[in-house]
A and B are shown apart, each in its own frame.
Chain A
Amino acid sequence: MILELRDLSKSFGALKAADAISFDVPEGEALGIIGPNGAGKSTLFSLVSGALAPSAGRVLLDGRDVTRASAQQRCVAGIGRSHQIPAPFEKLTVFENLLVAACFGRGKREAEVVESCGEVLEATGLLSKANRLAGSLSLLDRKRLEMARALATQPRLLLLDEIAGGLTEGECQELVAAIRKIHASGTTIIWIEHIVHALLAVVSRLVVLNFGRLIAQGDPREVMDSAQVREIYLGSPI
């Protein structure tokens, strides 16, 4: 198991954003996470990536307890993440954003990572904007940059947080193709997404969160057809 979550909980005052969540992610899996707004999906990512410390529970990476490890240590250990609200280094160029991620995520010198940064830019459609300031990018390109920067750290576990929102159908298909390619190269992927058809084109398992609790998981089609999930999204039948 590349990732194991054990009764992971996070409270903000009285609000339980994560409530005793437990699940395992085997190496090489593509896992999707869905749930209504405010279900605690991004909070879960922050707990896994180390941006937030849990109120209770444990996070295991490769069987090793990393609950107390910082975000920086977890990145070096192989967890890469994109942020739902893009957080680019605005006064650096797109290329420099990747460069810093590649250098520090993998502990390498600049000259050693130029090629791989260029290739990631190419794969994410950002090559023509490589030397623009990240702060000058459109929202769409900022989202691309989120994924590109996470990829530049060459993660073994990639956390993608709502990167398909706002894309046209054509762009969405390109994105799906790009993510499938990353997955095919051996990277484990956990993808939070509201655009369900894009998600289902990639993932082999689905986890459903609601009010901070894991309420369903399993085969994507079965989960989507389950009465529980229909109730969350469509409400209960009268």
Chain B
Amino acid sequence: MAMTNAAAPRFAIRTRTPVSTIAAVCCVVLVVVLAALPFFAGRSVMQNMFFILTMLSLAQFWNLLAGYSGLISVGQQAFVGLGAYLLFAWTILGGVDPVLAIVLSGAIAALVALPTSFLVFRLKGAYFAVGTWVVAEVFRLILAQVKILGGGTGTALPKEATNDAAFVQWIVQMTGERAAVARDKADYWLALILAIGAIGLVYGLLRSRRGLALAAIRDNEAASGSVGVDATRMKRLVYVVSAFGAGMTGALIYLAKARISPDAAFSLIDWTAFVFFIVIIGGIATIEGPIVGVLIFWLIQNELSSFGSVYLMLLGALAIIVMLFFPKGVWGTLAERFDLHLFPIRRSLEFASAAGDPKSSPAVEEEISHD
């Protein structure tokens, strides 16, 4: 429109809400507390937290893929396993520092995801899901052939990559603890950075204009094309970013485990089914959902894992019940009832504050009409 007056903008975007400001402050406090946790918590807490944080990272990236982009993959273990094996390759064969190796492993997983996307994107819906699973199986079978990384039986990390790693030794010098204890702390801090990074990356993507494009594609893919959104390119971006995240998380998980085998690294149950459960229970297509979901999952696993395989049946039954009666998950249901959004992405149009009377704001006028 020709009459745009650059000197006095009449309109403004608002995304922040009072609740989200409070949530942001709480987040900062929580991050500080979590960062300081190793100084006053024991080893078992570290190990539990490591599990929670790494599963949370996987859940955030799977949620980006399935929840926000409609790409229901059941093959993210392809990139978890690939990242894990790449970590072993970098450290064992290349002598690379494990912390650097985690990032490199994620980057290569993303590079591999790019050509893979051209293959699996030929498939839609359920076929896409099956296709991603097949890809994961192919990766598993290929890595089982790599004799130098242990072939079908797997291999272990050398001491240089675990207790003697630079990061661990630095903690040993700072705190004077045994290397095994320091390693748990190192793994925990890395997992914390990864989880914060995962949330930050996903939230940043949704807050950017690409987030709008993803929502438009989800609502009406054909119409999104007619307003200039390249749906395939957006989905490819999400697929590659998710592979990057899954690859780094896989690398970190197996840095902590220090022992790898193809069957474990490419496990459908561990790296996709559980993640699926976490996201569904917590609330798909919300940032908060996976956080709530991973805590519920951890509680259930702690309480029920002694029941053996019955525990998996209970987990499955619970997921089905939630899908039937609370399809938006625990957080999604709460968020809807109380209009609660800790990580808001809704952009509201307002009159710029200079215009004066806040009553004239379209936002104020219509705020309650989200019917």
Question: Please, which residues of chain B bring their CB within 8 A of the CB of A106?
Answer: 228
Are the CB atoms of A95 and B366 closer together than 8 Å?
A: no
Interface footprint category on B? 35 or more
> Does A90 touch B at the CB level, under 8 Å?
yes
Given A92-B219, A116-B1, A133-B370, A103-B212 contact (CB < 8 Å): yes
- Asked whether any CB of chain B lies closer than 8 Å to the CB of A114, the reply is yes
Within 72-98 of A, Cβ neighbours of B (below 8 Å) are at 72, 75-76, 80-81, 83, 87-93, 95-97
- A96-B347, A114-B13, A121-B349 known; A129 vs B212 contact (CB < 8 Å): no
A77 to chain B, nearest CB (A): 10
CB distance from A75 to the nearest CB of B (A): 4
Contact status of A100 and B229, CB under 8 A, knowing A92-B216, A114-B349, A133-B370 = yes
Chain A neighbourhood of B362, CB < 8 A? 127-131
Residues of A within 8 A of B10 (CB): 115, 118
Q: Is the interface of B mostly helix, strand, loop or mixed?
A: mixed
A42 located at the interface, meaning its Cβ lies under 8 Å from any Cβ of chain B in the complex: no
Q: For residue A114, which residues in chain B have a CB less than 8 angstroms away from its CB? A: 9, 11-13, 349
- Nearest CB in chain B: distance from A85 CB, A: 10
Which residue of B is nearest A106, CB measured?
A: B228
Do A72 and B365 touch (CB < 8 A)? no
Docked-complex contact A72 and B229, CB < 8 angstroms: yes
Closest CB in chain B relative to A38 CB, distance in Å: 21
The interface residues of chain B lying within 8 Å CB-to-CB of A115 are 4-5, 9-11
- Inter-subunit contact B213/A104 (CB<8 Å): yes
CA distance A95 to B11 in the complex (A): 11
In chain B, positions 217-253 with a C-beta closer than 8 Å to chain A are 218-220, 222-231
Contact A50 B218 (CB under 8 A): no
- Interface contact A149-B349, CB-CB below 8 Å: no
Contact status A76-B3, CB under 8 Å: no
Assuming the contacts A93-B348, A132-B370, A136-B371, asked whether A110 and B223 have C-beta atoms less than 8 A apart, the reply is no
Q: Give the nearest-CB partner of B229 in chain A.
A: A104
Residue from B2, B3, B367 within 8 A of A131 (CB atoms):
B367
Interface residue A117 (Cβ < 8 Å from any Cβ of B): yes
Where chain A touches its partner, the secondary structure class is: helix
**CA–CA, A120 to B230, complex, Å?**
23
Contact partners of A118 in chain B: CB under 8 A: 10-11, 349
Other-chain contact of A101, B11, B227, B371 (Cβ < 8 Å): B227
Tell me if B100 is interfacial: C-beta within 8 Å of chain A.
no
Cβ–Cβ < 8 Å partners of A50 in chain B: 225-226
* Contact between A129 and B2, CB atoms less than 8 A apart: no
Q: A100-B215, A136-B369 are in contact. List 11 more A-B contacts (CB 8 A).
A: A88-B219, A90-B219, A92-B219, A99-B209, A101-B228, A107-B228, A110-B347, A114-B349, A133-B370, A136-B371, A185-B1
A: residues with CB less than 8 A from B are 49-51, 70-72, 75-76, 80-81, 83, 87-93, 95-97, 99-101, 103-107, 109-111, 114-121, 123, 127-133, 136, 149-150, 152-153, 185
9 closest A-B pairs (Cβ-Cβ)?
A118-B11, A104-B228, A101-B227, A71-B225, A105-B228, A87-B223, A89-B219, A75-B228, A95-B349
- List 14 A-B residue pairs with CB atoms under 8 Å apart, sorted by A's residue number: A70-B230, A83-B223, A83-B226, A87-B222, A91-B218, A92-B212, A93-B347, A100-B209, A100-B224, A104-B209, A105-B228, A117-B11, A119-B3, A133-B370
Instruction: Name B's A-contacting residues (CB within 8 A).
Output: 1-5, 9-13, 209, 212-213, 215-216, 218-220, 222-231, 346-349, 362-363, 365-367, 369-371
